[in-house]
Amino acid sequence: MKIRHQQVAGYFYPAEKEKLQQDISLLLNVAKPEKSFNKIFGIVSPHAGYIYSGKTAAYAYNLLKNKSYKTVIVISPSHAEYFPGISIYDGDAYETPLGIVEIDKDMTEKIVNNSKVIFKGIQGHRKEHALEVQIPFLQSVLKDFKIVPIVMGDQSKMFVDHLAEKISEVVDEETLVVASSDMSHFYSSEEADRLDSVVEQRINDFDFEQLLKDLDDKECEACGGGPIAVMMKAASLKNISKSYVINRSDSGDITGDKSEVVGYLSAVIYDN
């Protein structure tokens, strides 16, 4: 088997299985959402170290408990390398301290088929933390699922629209989409709140076109803005148009330093 081994265990989250299970369990216990949603199409989850953004992520992952999905499509930005296009890991599985998760090769083939910009490869997967940190959470709340790990080397509108269309063609009620994104970086907590509230508003209004425009115009920041827009547009193509921000926070909530923070947000895309 060709396995993409864990790269950020011991750095973004604990490398020891028991400690990782314990930490995620604790986060899920403290981050209880007030609402529940029956038909969940997808979630937005942050990707910083669990100590900083894990609680915000847990609000979204808690919504998935007692649900079952055959496949989870995880869409991530690329922090470590730029490449034109969109890369789906070409191996057999992703590994974390909680074990391996197999790649859904059938769905991967369908997404890649007849696309000039979506390809199977290792680009974007070598060191990327934004995708990897989602998997232990998924392993903790779901059973018996495969993944389609997607890294966007380019998040411009053309790529967003194309990937959204391809995803909308393959998803069904047994598929979940996860968009991995942090919000603004290194502003005061006050300024971060102003910027991140724009993203929150766009998600709550289910306005992914305006979100992309706002990101372009620097009205807000989200390193995974493309993945969020892809998920929302794919949902809209399936006639799903409900979204709700469950939790928003910043790193200063943990460090106590509000002068320079990173913003986090979790959200759910759902059908009535």
Per residue in 177-191, is it b (16+ CB within 10 Å) or e — as a string?
Answer: bbbbbbbbeebebee
- Rg of the Cα trace of the chain? 17
Per-residue confidence at 219, pLDDT binned at 50, 70, 90? very high
Q: Which helix (H) or strand (E) holds 185?
A: strand 185-187
CB 234 within 8 A of CB 222: no
pTM, entire model: 0.98
Q: For 131-178, what is each residue's pLDDT tens digit?
A: 999 999 999 999 999 999 999 999 999 999 999 999 999 999 999 999
Q: Of all residues in the chain, what percent carry a pLDDT higher than 90?
A: 100
Q: For 19-77, what is each residue's pLDDT tens digit?
A: 999 999 999 999 999 999 999 999 999 999 999 999 999 999 999 999 999 999 999 99
Give ∠ CA 69-137-152 in degrees, rounded to 5.
80
Q: Token pair for residue 41?
A: 């199409």
For residues 89 and 120, give the distance between their C-alpha atoms in angstroms, rounded to a whole number.
6
At 28 the pLDDT is 98
CB 239 within 8 A of CB 196: no
CB 97 within 8 A of CB 8: no
At 272 the pLDDT is 81
Q: For 72-121, what is each residue's pLDDT tens digit?
A: 999 999 999 999 999 999 999 999 999 999 999 999 999 999 999 999 99
Domains of the chain: 3-271 (3.40.830.10)
Amino acid letter, 260:
E
Report the chain's mean pLDDT, rounded to a whole number: 97
CB 88 within 8 A of CB 128: no
Q: Token pair for residue 181?
A: 């994104």
What distances in angstroms separate CA 86 from CA 18, 158, 183, 198, one per listed residue?
Answer: 34, 11, 21, 26
